[in-house]
């Protein structure tokens, strides 16, 4: 890092000449548009850790937006000058479109006022912002024209420097954000979905706020610890989807890697208890699918497109990971899901997601919407949707503990309760409590697969609410 240095007029003129010389060199070498990024920083000190970090922010934004336009970044130079850091980029692309993204970087945030993004076409002509109907850049202090305020000396230097300091604080605060805003919203919805699933009560045979259901090695607080541990992994899956540029099925290996790390975090938080391993896989893929759709097809962003993308990400997974099991070497230890596939042909969550999670789109979501529209509380609406999912889910948690006959019995009991009105009637609610006691104390039945699907149901419901607010 350069030492803080007070600059002179000679320094400013020398730096300007150096920039112009390098701009001409880049044009001659590439015959391309040249972008110049500088820091517009009043005061005697121009080069600091703050100004350098701000420059790198602008460069990263430019790289991403240039990539989104499918333009080629030919060359990039960073100059560490006492007059302030400078970035020069040679880009093979339309100068007018590049100017538009430069203006967006300047205008989207408050601290963008500290950035000057100048664009020159391949002939060296500067692209003027006035040609885009844009007004003159605002003053640092007020909303008036910067040129007019400077000409009329409306603000004293102390006032200007204070305003600049506040803009730098805006940048510093923004730079602490761990995720791009769309990724954060998707991750927030996923975390909320995990918590809502374990919180809704009564959940027959499952851990909820009142009891541990059919589980003796975990309770409500174990799930809070687990959800806190794996939530970063889900955010990372969303970020992976947001950044992904290849085909959908190219994304799965990366999500698997992130998911494995999240599982290790879960095990560390719960002392080895498997609370949400299936949900890591399921919600991680759905979160990634959501980010892909939002990035590439924002006009179609919604539950249908997300589930279709999740299916595309997992295309062929059953054939690759399950159907080939009969050819595996006999001695290899099988997972519970693999044993169920070989014994009963049950494809489990792999099959569900490859088929587009129709149990969610055709059962979970409609029942949740119906219950909320009828005036049920969010808690009761979630329990109502859980009952519906229990009627149709090939629940591998039940099958691992019991058999196909018990799974069929569970599905029948859930249907009977829904036929009695589910959580919409006093009779149905009484039956839910009875079923919880039966599963928890007597039968040791846990519909854990349905619980995971309930979390996805709520996640997609949350996405729908988000979209509805956006459309208003």
Task: Return the pLDDT at 1.
Answer: 46
Per the model's pLDDT, the better-predicted residue between 39 and 177 turns out to be 39
Distance between CA atoms of residues 112 and 40, nearest Å: 10
Domain regions of the chain by residue span: 9-175, 181-471
Instruction: pLDDT band for 328, please (50, 70, 90 cuts).
Output: low
Over residues 108-145, the pLDDT tens digits come to 999 999 999 999 999 999 999 888 877 778 888 887 88
CA geometry: angle at 196 spanning 190 and 201, to 5°?
160
Q: Which of 126-135, 182-191, 245-254 has the lowest mean pLDDT?
A: 126-135
Indicate whether this model's pTM tops 0.95: no
Using a pLDDT cut of 90, give the percent of the chain over it.
71
Mean of the per-residue pLDDT values of the chain: 91
Q: Is 184 a residue whose pLDDT tops 70?
A: yes
Nearest in space to 134 (alpha carbons), one of 159, 165, 163, 112: 112
Task: Return the pLDDT at 327.
Answer: 63
Cβ neighbours of residue 170 closer than 8 Å, sequence gap 6 or more: 109, 110, 111
Measure CA 368 to chain center: 24
Instruction: pLDDT band for 25, please (50, 70, 90 cuts).
Output: very high
CA dihedral 91, 93, 95, 101 (to 10 degrees): -80
Write out the H or E segment, with its range, that includes residue 387: helix 378-392
CATH class of 9-175: alpha beta
Per the model's pLDDT, the better-predicted residue between 160 and 340 turns out to be 160
Residues 326-333, mean pLDDT to the nearest whole number: 64
Q: Is 3 a residue whose pLDDT tops 70?
A: no
Sign of CA dihedral 385, 388, 393, 398: positive
Q: Is 100 a residue whose pLDDT tops 90?
A: yes
Instruction: pLDDT band for 330, please (50, 70, 90 cuts).
Output: low
Segment of 6-20, 354-368, 435-449 carrying the highest mean pLDDT: 354-368
Q: Is 413 a residue whose pLDDT tops 70?
A: yes
Q: Which of 19-23, 342-346, 438-442 has the lowest mean pLDDT?
A: 342-346
Nearest in space to 30 (alpha carbons), one of 89, 78, 98, 102: 89
Over residues 152-170, the pLDDT tens digits come to 888 988 998 899 999 999 9
Over residues 353-411, the pLDDT tens digits come to 999 999 999 999 999 999 999 999 999 999 999 999 999 999 889 988 889 999 999 99
């Amino acid at each position: 890092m350069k030492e803080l240095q007070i600059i002179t007029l000679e320094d400013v003129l020398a730096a300007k000449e150096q920039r112009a010389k390098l701009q001409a060199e880049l044009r001659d070498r590439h015959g391309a548009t040249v972008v110049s990024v500088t820091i517009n920083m009043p005061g005697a000190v121009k080069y600091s850790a703050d100004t350098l970090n701000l420059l790198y922010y602008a460069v990263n934004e430019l790289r991403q937006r240039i990539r989104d336009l499918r333009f080629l970044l030919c060359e990039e130079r960073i100059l560490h000058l006492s007059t302030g850091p400078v970035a020069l980029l040679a880009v093979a692309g339309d100068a007018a479109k590049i100017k538009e993204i430069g203006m967006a970087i300047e205008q989207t945030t408050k601290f963008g006022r500290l950035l000057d993004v100048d664009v020159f076409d391949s002939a060296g002509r500067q692209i003027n912002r006035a040609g885009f109907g844009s007004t003159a850049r605002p003053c640092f202090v007020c909303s008036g024209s910067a040129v007019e305020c400077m000409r009329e000396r409306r603000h004293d230097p102390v006032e200007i420097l204070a305003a600049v300091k506040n803009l730098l604080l805006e940048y510093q605060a923004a730079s602490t954000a761990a995720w791009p805003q769309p990724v954060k919203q998707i991750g927030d919805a996923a975390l909320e979905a995990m918590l809502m699933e374990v919180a809704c009560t009564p959940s027959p045979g499952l851990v909820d706020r009142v009891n541990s259901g059919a589980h003796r090695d975990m309770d409500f607080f174990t799930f809070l610890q687990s959800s806190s541990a794996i939530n970063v992994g889900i955010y990372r899956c969303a970020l992976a989807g947001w950044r992904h540029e290849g085909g959908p099925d190219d994304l799965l290996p990366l999500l698997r890697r992130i998911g494995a790390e999240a599982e290790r975090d879960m095990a560390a938080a719960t002392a080895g208890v498997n609370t949400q391993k299936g949900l890591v896989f399921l919600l991680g893929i759905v979160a990634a699918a959501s980010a892909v759709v939002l990035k590439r097809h924002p006009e179609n962003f919604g539950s249908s497109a997300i589930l279709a993308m999740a299916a595309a990400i997992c295309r062929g997974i059953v054939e690759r990971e399950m159907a080939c099991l009969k050819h595996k070497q006999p001695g290899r230890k099988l997972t519970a899901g693999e044993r169920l596939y070989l014994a009963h042909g049950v494809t489990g969550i792999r099959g569900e997601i490859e088929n587009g999670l129709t149990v969610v789109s055709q059962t979970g979501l409609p029942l949740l919407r119906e219950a909320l529209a009828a005036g049920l509380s969010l808690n009761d609406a979630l329990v109502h949707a859980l009952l519906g999912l229990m009627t149709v889910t090939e629940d591998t948690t039940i099958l691992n503990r019991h058999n196909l006959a018990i799974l069929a019995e569970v599905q029948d009991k859930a249907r009977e309760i829904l036929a009695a009105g589910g959580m919409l009637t006093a009779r149905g609610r009484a039956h839910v409590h009875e079923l919880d006691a039966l599963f928890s104390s007597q039968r040791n039945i846990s519909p854990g697969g349905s619980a995971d699907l309930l979390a996805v149901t709520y996640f997609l419901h949350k996405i729908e609410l988000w979209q509805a607010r956006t459309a208003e």
